[in-house]
Amino acid sequence: MKSFGKVFICGAGPGDVGLLTLRARDLLTNCNVILYDRLVSDDILELASAKSDKIYVGREAGDPTINQRLTNRLMVKYAREGQTVLRLKGGDPFIFGRGAEEAEYLASKKIKFEIVPGISSFIAASIYSGIPLTHRNYSSSLAIVTGHESFGKNKSNVKWKVLSKATDTLVILMGFKNLSSIVAQLTDNGMRRETRIAVITNATLKNQKVIVGTLDNIITKTFNKDLRYPSIIIIGKVVEVRNRIKWFEDLSKN
């Protein structure tokens, strides 16, 4: 009986190749097939073995789920051929990355798999922008939500009414396209308009950009600034700390 291969669902981190885990680097050099997302940088892919097949399976925001079904079929196809498959995903596979859904699908097809964590983009954006997610003086609670829910979803599962008052720091992933709506949801439900907010794009990379404002003026501040999707949004008093510890920009100047 032919032995099946194995799939590694692996986080590639936020973009900077230096933040890749040793485990991910090892898999890049040893797996036969690499199925990678659009947020996996070219620098990371260059670490892959020249003998591996590299197949792009990325989805743009709003793409229909047919793309995911194709990815699922490819993972099973190559594993059944006896290949070792690296399913490489930006950030961490379990933070809005469909890693759990892919693992469930592989389990249903009796395919062996492992899951390898990566540094999530929201953690990297926090650190590289100099905005701590928690701080003894400013924040003892944290909530992380998506700003862009599944394609075709009729109703949001994000409890904006509760979030506007229930947490010290609010992090929103993939939310820049819907920033106006998000600001309206929060302020309409009681969050103060002078609450500090930061929008971070290309976190950890040389072209990282951070725009800081308040809920009252962030739409104006980000208008026509050529910000790239996806962006990380951080809301709360912790944003004030950035002025004192924005180490990444200071490092780039030296």
Q: Which tens digit of pLDDT belongs to each residue from 150-186? A: 544 556 678 999 999 999 999 999 888 889 999 999 9
At 230 the pLDDT is 78
Instruction: Give percent of the chain with pLDDT exceeding 90.
Output: 78
pLDDT at 10 over 70: yes
pLDDT tens-digit map of 208-252 = 999 999 999 999 999 877 776 679 999 999 999 999 999 998 776
Domain of 33, in residue numbers: 6-116
Same domain as 236, residue 147: yes
Q: Are residues 183 and 109 in the same domain?
A: no
What count of other Cβ atoms lies within 10 Å of the Cβ of residue 196?
A: 21
**CB within 8 A of 27, min separation 6: which ones?**
8, 10, 86, 116
Determine the pLDDT at residue 97: 87
Are 90 and 139 found together in one domain?
Answer: no
pLDDT at 99 over 90: yes
Please report how many Cα atoms fall inside a 13 Å half-sphere around the Cα of residue 224, on the Cβ side.
1
pTM of the model: 0.90
Mean pLDDT across the chain: 91
Tell me, yes or no, whether 125 and 70 share the same domain. Answer: no
The answer as to whether 172 is a domain residue is yes
Looking at the fold, whether 145 and 244 belong to one and the same domain comes out as yes
Q: In degrees to the nearest 10, what's the CA dihedral of 197, 202, 204, 210?
A: -30
CB-based contacts of 124: which residues, under 8 Å, 6+ apart?
13, 14, 15, 16, 19, 203, 204
Same domain assignment for residues 106 and 152: no
- Counting the structural domains of the chain, the total is 2
Same domain, 182 and 101: no
Same domain membership, residue 197 and residue 165: yes
Question: Are 63 and 77 within 8 A, CB to CB?
Answer: no
Domain stop point among 91, 116, 141: 116
Angle at 209 between CA 208 and CA 214, to 5 degrees: 145
Domain termination residue (choose one: 116, 149, 173)? 116
For the cut 60, the answer to whether the pLDDT of residue 64 exceeds it is no
pLDDT at residue 191 tops 70? yes
- Are both 100 and 54 inside the same structural domain? yes
pLDDT at 151: 43
> Does 134 lie in the same domain as 112?
no
